Chain A
């Protein structure tokens, strides 16, 4: 560009287009220099030759779409939203943001509401609603959800694969347990006692707001309980604010309106606490990913940036704020079921730079030998692997991880992500633990 036509200093690319409602993806599209590093990292493109890959779904499709008669290609719904392309890109192209917006546009403009696929995706994406209803009658729901004829009908009418067993609903949700334990008041007392026991300042302001997500609440309350006990051990008072789904399954299904409705509730309740000095902590790495990255990328909600900047993954927080590695290296885990752990780093943990964390923390922990099962994707990607037409792809992607899990010592797996955990269990039959449960076993007797 010559100086004669140089833009003024006030030049702001975002103002080039009058429509400020949606994020301007042009700078991202321009930054792509077509090196194809994203394509070689894409787990779907790896096993599905018909999938054109993240480079096409992102910058190329964005450019094609500048023509008025161009519509979003249906292949965008094959993207599993693992977000691996984001960290593969040497040029900071916001690939997953481009995929999320393209998918939303596809669903809005191309997918008919009379199409069963639309409703199947919407039901899967709104897992929280189903889980909320099922948790009212967990025993009946557990029976009904895995009842053969019902599953056959679900596959035929909705396209939900009958290959998988639905995760069991807990007979007591995490939130019910939390209320029985005295809620925030109980936590304040326990944390205070812990601070006294530890020799910390008894009046220290150690306060965190727990974003448990749907899965820890309805399906694996033991993860939420471990979170509470570990944080209280370090003298933190917890509150468990009102919350909806983080939005992860909704982004992945192009249901951005649903996601925004839930995000507004989360940003409001979590944001109020952040304003009062609380830090937001998540135990599910897809939830923390959503609050940290996808929220500010996709929505314009007051307080969304502040929430993103104050959201942490649970162990990351303790590692930075407390001497977690020191305490772990002085501890011993007696529980023999945790002696050999095959660890899988979820894609969404990788994208937060957390993929090496659990192994590093447990390196000097006596009684635990955690082994990495490689950097492949588990393949389930939330609701993706639940779709009848995606099931095979999902299992093909997971093959490498299953093999490495079988090769690793022991028959217990470990991961931070609830759906990776489903996939690990489905592919190997192993029991799967969350790193917080290991820390609980090491530090909280």
Chain B
């Protein structure tokens, strides 16, 4: 009768998908409910664990994990969970990613010409490492305004990278419209119907001055990125890399496809509709999440639940003029009563609001204002958990992987 599973995960980002895979690994039947498409399409595709502590760039995130405050999600789950989360990521991403050979941070140039510390990076970006001393040419396309190669090169030089870098702009074969979707470039290179790969390489060859590596905006194919890079590298006789971009992002889209494959193989059923409420047993156990389907409210029953709906950006934490709240299970979110205390005046100051989120115990169970467990069979994962400023720390993906793995494993184990 009805729709019933061992574990129900609410939220389809990296934390939710990781939790679903971890729960399925315990033998539990798992369903994942997500309000819209995965937000990986908006992510750069870089997998950070901890890039900065006390505003200092970290060479090795694992050196700093022990020194984080007690309410940081990493402190709640412990170092082992961080390693487990990364191992699960490596399983999902496979050949698509690099960086697993070391625990140290890699430094990756971004499309704005900044350098970002990260634990894992797409294989397509590997030849672009900022620690690599080979000179580089960055190539932009006239019709792709999101990547201004000469500007990005200027920024990288100003950041003091240990190599010479130069930017050039070429026109993309077939002359796409000025605001063409990034997938148009990617699919033209994938399909290669009119020799787009080789024609692009030849256009780049005219501005290439023998630099041993050449960077492109991250649009080099959705389905066959390695083949696309291969042709470009052969013609240019140089290593070819992608520079991660803003949304919508091809590296993120490729990673999304890898996760979807993993979920399918693990037998996780995915439902793309929002959760609009819940049912309990009258005590403090959840019995169902109410999924809204275009007006209809349908209970999805489970024995254990994982809340992985995201933070302030993902709308897993919401706010209005009266306060800050968690809209799905109405878990307690501590915050100053006066909303002028939610932020500080300096734009890049130490704002309180990025750390808003539910308070969890070491088992990732959300706690209410009095410290009592909200629901015995509910765990939280990802940026809905408070205590981390993922943008300032460069820790968002790592927190999602570590807490997702821990919450999913525990939820699954409870039902077996």
Contact = CB atoms under 8 A, between A and B. Distances in A.
Q: Which of B42, B181, B273 has the most C-beta atoms of chain A within 10 angstroms of its own C-beta?
A: B181
A37 B2 contact: no
Interface stretch (B84-92, B155-163, B182-190, B398-406): B182-190
Interface residues of B, number: 34
B295 A296 contact: yes
Nearest to A6: B321
A326 B1 contact: yes
A421 interface: no
B150 interface: no
Contacts of A42: 181
B59 interface: no
B184 A292 contact: no
A293 B294 contact: yes
Interface stretch (B98-106, B264-272, B383-391): B264-272
B247 A37 contact: yes
B298 A320 contact: yes
Contacts of B1: 322-323, 326
A260 interface: no
A353 interface: yes
Interface string A27-43: 00000000111011110
Contact of B293 (A6, A36, A322, A353): A353
A90 interface: yes
B378 interface: no
Interface stretch (B33-41, B66-74, B131-139, B361-369): B33-41
Interface string A16-32: 00000000000000000
Interface residues on A, range: 35 or more
A271 to B, nearest CB: 14
Interface string A294-323: 001000000001001111100010011011
Given A46-B183, A309-B296, A319-B3, A37 B37 contact: yes
A289 B41 contact: no
Nearest to B300: A320
Interface in B2-43: 2-3, 36-37, 39, 41-42
B177 interface: yes
Interface in A86-104: 87-90, 92
B144 interface: no
A40 B294 contact: no
A334 interface: no
B37 A90 contact: yes
A40 B36 CA distance: 14
Contacts of A319: 2-3
Given A87-B37, A309-B296, A320-B2, A36 B248 contact: yes
B247 A352 contact: no
A40 B296 contact: no
B124 interface: no
B409 interface: no
B187 A46 contact: yes
A213 interface: no
B180 A88 contact: no
A50 interface: yes
A305 B273 CA distance: 19
A289 to B, nearest CB: 7
A293 B295 contact: yes
Nearest to A56: B179
Given A88-B36, A350-B272, A36 B3 contact: no
Q: Which of B176, B291, B294 has the most C-beta atoms of chain A within 10 angstroms of its own C-beta?
A: B294
Nearest to A45: B181
B346 to A, nearest CB: 18
Given A39-B181, A49-B177, A311-B295, A356 B270 contact: yes
Contacts of B247: 35-37
B339 to A, nearest CB: 10
A41 B3 contact: no
A49 B183 CA distance: 11
Interface string A77-120: 00000000001111010000000000000000000000000000
A312 B295 CA distance: 10
9 contacts: A36-B248, A41-B37, A49-B177, A49-B184, A87-B37, A292-B294, A311-B296, A320-B3, A323-B1
Among all A-B residue pairs, the 5 with the closest Cβ atoms: A353-B273, A292-B294, A308-B295, A35-B247, A309-B295
